[in-house]
Amino acid sequence: MKSSRFLRIVASVLIIFTIAFSLYSCNGGGSKNPITDPPSKENTEWSIGSSASFAVVTPKTPTSALSASLDALLSAFRNKTGVRPETKTDEIKRGAIRDNTTYEILLGRTSYDQTAEVLSNLTEGQFAIVLSGRKLVITTPKDVDLSAAVDYFIENYINVMEQSNGVYLLSTGSYISPTPEIVEKEITVNGVNIGNFDIVYESSRKGYREVAEYLQTVMKESGFTVSVYRDIDRADSGTPEFLVGKTNRAVSAQMYGSMPPDILTYRLGVQGNKVQIMGGGPFSAHQCVGQMRMRFFGANDPTYTNGTYLETDNSFSIGITEGTDVRLMTYNILADRWAYPEEREVLPVSHRAEIIAGVLLACKPDAVGLQETDQAWIDALPAWLELLKTQYGIEYEWKFYNYLNKQTLTTILYRSDKYDLIDSGIENFSYWDNSAYVYNLRLIEWVNLREKADGTRSFILANTHWGFDEETEICLNESISRINALKEQYPGVRIFFCGDFNSNQTSEPFFTYQTETGSRDACTVAIEAGTRVNDTGGNRDPGKPRYEGGSYIDHIFGTGTWSVLRYETVLGISIYGSDHSPHYADIKF
């Protein structure tokens, strides 16, 4: 569980608001058509200068689509005016009354009455930019369409700004987009209209059903209503089909056999009356459908024949720094039980497991402290670890996923092809009542690993997931006791301690732990050495990296003498895997 799961962007700007408002043009008394006429500078204008401020308001639990639109909006303000509006959520204390005297842009489906009123007059696919008192509402029935609203706002509202005596004038007229019309396209595959196709998905592995349903939705947008089947429920009778994953069809076996996609890569192939979507896993297959939405179905009346039409590589590689003795990583991979997909856009574990495997393949850490590995992960991850071993030659041993006959949400992976396990241990923090839960969460564990190639060099990695508030002190004190006990038990052996500490780098527990154990924080060491790669603390939510601020609660501490050749918070495709990003450190002894 996290210390913060919601949007927290705070940026100060200075702004003046002037002139009363109107929904229609004022000069000459002529009426304005909000459907077709772009906003004009004769309308009410908010001026941006240096003596007041306004805020952009979003829902308390924004989706990734809304967050992307927010980022685009804030970037446009900053690029065009040099200032960046403050942001806040629509959360309000019980019994409180909203302040309608403040100037605010309401972005998305906020809980404000002004937003609800605008939404009541919209149909799916429409967006609106409506001035209501001192609130400027930018909204859509579905967040997936919000980018179109923000793009329109940036082009027609921010682009009409004028600088006069250091003041920018922002138009605030109203606009409602036309009701979209669904027109069936003429898309053919080897002469067959895709309206005659069905969708068949691989049923032997989890995750492909969601991809098939996503494809069905994408096709419906283009006017094609098709059915979805499991491959085991429908024999191949030669009918036209979209094949999702490695189905039991002969075409799937042929295409996967000739060139199997790597983790996080995908291809789209056509053979006869079959369209094959191939991915290194369900996540990459889903990415392929997203590309099809724009390039396959988005084209005007295209015709497809045998061949490959999409072939994209989302994979990445982060080479180990020359001179590194060990690469350590900490990674909270977000338990399925706390993903809350109804509140925020979180992919199922069957999809996110491919991302975690992709991170392991790209970074190749020697040892990883994982947090929040609940039963869904215990079920899903072994198949990916086996794939890393058989297809890529990287062997990981997974420790502690079961303790006291219950699933453990704090576990360790280590490279068993490079290290021998000398010793290990695990224990719950004293306040954690194992009898009251079906899982172990608040605990500390450790492994003593000896390098196979050297035969004498070893290190210890401990891993944890601290609690909150009054629990923090217990976790802190018992972690200090455990690490100091390991120092006595293994004199001279470097002891690294990683995890989700729910305490950032400015907190008292952060400094107390280091003082009482003689440890240093790897990120701090890297900052001092100039070897830290980025300034992010990870994610705010899946798909939403925290690019600014640099606050982090995932740490890698270490005792003894060592330096950090490279420290990085991994972003890129990994941001969709969890509400934390993986942190790694290249350590030189």
Give residue-wise pLDDT tens across range 11-20.
222 222 222 2
| Rounded CA separation 588/108 (Å) | 48
Residue 82 forms part of a structural domain: yes
CA–CA gap between residue 185 and residue 303 (Å, rounded): 11
Assess if residue 17 is contained within a domain.
no
Cα–Cα separations (whole angstroms), residue 442 to 122, 412, 557: 47, 14, 18
Looking at the fold, whether 408 and 298 belong to one and the same domain comes out as no
The model's confidence at residue 584, banded by pLDDT at 50, 70 and 90, is very high
CA 128 to CA 135: how far, in whole Å? 13
- Report the DSSP pairing between strands 410-415 and 367-371: antiparallel
Domain check: are 61 and 130 in the same one? yes
Task: Give the domain-ending residue among 313, 341, 359.
Answer: 313
Identify which has the larger pLDDT, 544 or 579.
579
Band of the pLDDT at 94, cuts 50, 70, 90? Answer: confident
Beta carbons of 42 and 25 less than 8 angstroms apart: yes
**Residue 319 domain flag:** no
- Percentage of the chain lying above the pLDDT 70 cut: 87
Q: Which residue from 433, 581, 575, 577 is spatially nearest to 500, judged by alpha carbons? A: 581
Same domain, yes or no: 210 and 131? no
3-state secondary structure of 144: helix
Q: Lowest-confidence range among 89-93, 168-172, 221-225, 247-251?
A: 168-172
The last residue of a domain, from among 176, 199, 234: 176
One-letter amino acid at 119 equals: L
DSSP bridge pairs for 84: none
The pLDDT value given to residue 17: 27
Range of the domain at 135: 27-176
> Rounded to whole angstroms, how far apart are CA atoms 516 and 473?
13
334 shares its domain with 241: no
Q: Does residue 332 share a domain with residue 225?
A: no
What is the Cα–Cα distance from 95 to 168, expressed in whole angstroms?
Answer: 37
Mean pLDDT across the stretch 508-535? 97
Residue 470 lies in a domain: yes
Does residue 474 share a domain with residue 375?
yes
Do 343 and 261 share a structural domain?
Answer: no
Regarding whether 151 and 114 lie in a shared domain, the answer is yes
Q: Are residues 101 and 196 in the same domain?
A: no
Same domain, 442 and 563: yes
Per-residue pLDDT tens over the stretch 550-563: 789 999 999 999 99
pLDDT digit string (tens) for 360-389? 999 999 999 999 999 999 999 999 999 999
pLDDT at 24: 28
Confidence (pTM): 0.72
Q: How many domains is the chain partitioned into structurally?
A: 3
Same domain, 109 and 36: yes
pLDDT at 133: 83
**Other CB atoms within 10 A of residue 116 CB:** 13
